[in-house]
Chains A and B, each alone.
Chain A
């Protein structure tokens, strides 16, 4: 229980620190993001009400109020999801824009991360168990190369070969133009087809993290006495590899989850941009290209918070995996 409580405490403090960092960033930067944002809105012909002006000023920094007032207003706006107006999507609030995009990214990044974890870990177990042999070498060298692929570049290549040249998959977007998102089977299969290439790109480029982590943990675990003992007892090698070594080697790899998730999330920004995917990453891509500061700041907050929540869930899950953590409490 103490482990859980300390994790909850750390989660809350980290959450606060991330929100505060998001408050400080635009204020510490040279120039005035507020003026830039208001100017962009005006030049886009969007009528700015006083409430919207106020929301943008609170999010990006108002010169005429004290820092503490600004901070209090900022926190209140976050709780009430008032992030101001973005000029990339002037007809809806930033919260609505992000709300529509979030499910796409959660499914894409979530499924990709789980599949990459399973495949990468199994490959790592295999390579570690067969270390020094040709299969180990080819897995290691392959993972090194694929891990070095810039995700957006692999995305471009897949787009060219599999979508443009041979037309196996649709070129752009998260669903066919004209279709409206629903839970109907036809829409879901359409969305699935559109998600194959982005998911493949993200999966291939983040696989190596799991492979190397697991392979190195396996090699370390295989040096332990209980593995030698199990071998001396004449257990089948598959039993030793999976039930003795891999089980223990898995633990350190789970703690690396946060880092690898960070890579998936970071990669998804550019990959979604390349594929014009309707998710959070694609939005950030648009926001950066348009210098859309209100949208950018809200997106960064949402991305960071999602990472924190995901890592928090994995840490709670860790209690189930590692009996030592349970007995210590």
Chain B
């Protein structure tokens, strides 16, 4: 990701091609080395490093949730509406479930929704952006119009309407709704970068050497925009985490799912703030903030890769 963007564009296809044989020679597959190199460069950026550490911690918590959580997140084994105590660090819900264990298990849903919805939105953004940028004329005009329409239609109200109509209370509905509503910014950025790259010499020479269109787009143009793709992924993932929490807070999620959004929903339903259980509101919100901040911080590093002027000196 990183070296390629740092290299001036005309040399970039050479660099992209060199990554593959270099990788096989050492016995490590190309993509693995590619990701490793990207992570190493991001690590050198202070903000991105902080973001990666925080994200890493959240991933560890999500993976080892059964080991870390002191109680079951769903079993109603305690007295309801209890304040914080030694056994229940953050108190209990109205059903007598341990909020602290719910907080630990909730990281799984937020991570999955963020990563999957972010990935899906990025997929749509990259596909539409590449097509529009590489095919000027009517195709570009139509896709450009759809993109600008999606940009001006307010995302959160549209998500709320869609989720309310769909009636399905599954996390995957939320993933789908978020992916459907948050691809437009990325698509616009990738479209404009594609149309700039399309006229560069290395693309023209690839076309004249008889390469197929798909190969030109995916092997010559796409590797030069890896940082833009990554940036739109983290932006969409941030939006997805917020959207998931918002929809669940509104009661449009499945209340039986254990997630940060449903803890907040339950807290609102039982008037936790008025009964003094303010930790039940504070803790899941802070967790959401931490996850979103980690994505944003990583994105600072990614931004600096594509725009040298933003690099830290």
| Across-interface contacts of A303 in B (CB, < 8 A) | 154, 157
Query: Quick check: is B208 within 8 A (CB to CB) of the other chain?
Result: no
Q: Are B309 and A153 in contact, with the CB atoms below 8 A?
A: no
A144-B297, A156-B281, A219-B309 are known contacts; what are 18 more A-B pairs with Cβ within 8 Å? A145-B289, A150-B246, A150-B285, A150-B289, A156-B285, A159-B273, A223-B309, A259-B185, A262-B154, A266-B154, A269-B160, A270-B246, A291-B164, A296-B164, A297-B161, A303-B157, A304-B152, A307-B154
- Out of B160, B162, B288, name the residue touching A153 (CB < 8 Å): B288
| Across-interface contacts of B160 in A (CB, < 8 A) | 269, 284, 288
Query: Quick check: is B206 within 8 A (CB to CB) of the other chain?
Result: no
Nearest B-chain residue to A146, judged by Cβ: B289
| Across-interface contacts of A258 in B (CB, < 8 A) | 151-152
Query: Quick check: is A69 within 8 A (CB to CB) of the other chain?
Result: no
| Interface residues of chain B: helix, strand, loop or mixed (majority) | helix
Query: Quick check: is A216 within 8 A (CB to CB) of the other chain?
Result: yes
Alpha-carbon gap, A159 to B285, bound state (A): 14
Count residues of chain A with CB under 8 A from any CB of chain B: 54
Given contacts A300-B158, A300-B161, contact A311 B152 (CB under 8 A): yes
Q: Which residues of A contact B (CB under 8 A)?
A: 10, 13-14, 17-18, 21, 25-26, 29-31, 33, 132, 144-145, 147-150, 152-153, 156-157, 159-160, 164, 216, 219-220, 223, 258-259, 262, 265-267, 269-270, 273, 284-285, 288-289, 291, 293, 296-297, 299-300, 303-304, 307-308, 311
| Across-interface contacts of B273 in A (CB, < 8 A) | 156, 159-160, 164
Q: Are B152 and A14 in contact, with the CB atoms below 8 A?
A: yes
- Out of B148, B251, B313, name the residue touching A132 (CB < 8 Å): B313
Alpha-carbon gap, A153 to B158, bound state (A): 20
Nearest Cβ on chain B to A100's Cβ, whole angstroms: 19
Alpha-carbon gap, A256 to B178, bound state (A): 21
Alpha-carbon gap, A216 to B306, bound state (A): 13
| Across-interface contacts of B245 in A (CB, < 8 A) | 150, 153
Q: Are B281 and A157 in contact, with the CB atoms below 8 A?
A: yes
Count residues of chain B with CB under 8 A from any CB of chain A: 47
Q: Which B146-192 residues have C-beta < 8 A from chain A?
A: 148-149, 151-158, 160-162, 164-167, 185
Q: Are A300 and B157 in contact, with the CB atoms below 8 A?
A: yes
Q: Are B166 and A29 in contact, with the CB atoms below 8 A?
A: yes
| 8 A–B contacts, CB within 8 A, in A order | A18-B152, A150-B246, A160-B278, A259-B185, A262-B154, A265-B157, A266-B155, A304-B152
Query: Quick check: is B249 within 8 A (CB to CB) of the other chain?
Result: yes
- Out of B149, B164, B166, name the residue touching A18 (CB < 8 Å): B149
Query: Quick check: is B296 within 8 A (CB to CB) of the other chain?
Result: yes
| Across-interface contacts of A148 in B (CB, < 8 A) | 238, 288-289, 292-293, 296
